[in-house]
Amino acid sequence: MAETPQKKSFVPTFLAYVAMCMGAIALVEAGMKGHRVGWEQMMLYTAPAVVCGLLAIMLRRDKYTWFGLLFALLAIVALMLGA
């Protein structure tokens, strides 16, 4: 019998989008305010970006999850620039 392809889950794509949004916000905050941001505010944006990016890449590896991981890495760079 022919196997039917399984429907792809929406969760990894959603997590990747969250990682992209939080990473972009962290990068913008670090770019606008520089070292005045503080590590608490930068961690507010960096931690969800990293967690969501890693969860998305663990669940499924496709174009959007790789972009989510890239933006999570950019959030870490923004943390170093802004804190």
**Residue 66 and residue 60: Cα distance in Å, rounded?**
9
Q: How confident is the model at residue 3 (pLDDT cuts 50, 70, 90)?
A: low
Q: Over the chain, what is the mean pLDDT?
A: 85
**Residue 8 and residue 21: Cα distance in Å, rounded?**
22
Residue 12 confidence (pLDDT) above 90: no
Nearest C-alpha neighbor of 58 from the set 49, 66, 47? 66
Q: How confident is the model at residue 17 (pLDDT cuts 50, 70, 90)?
A: very high
pLDDT at position 77: 87
Q: Which amino acid is at 52?
A: C
pLDDT at position 21: 92
Residue pLDDT, tens place only, 59-76 = 888 888 888 889 888 888
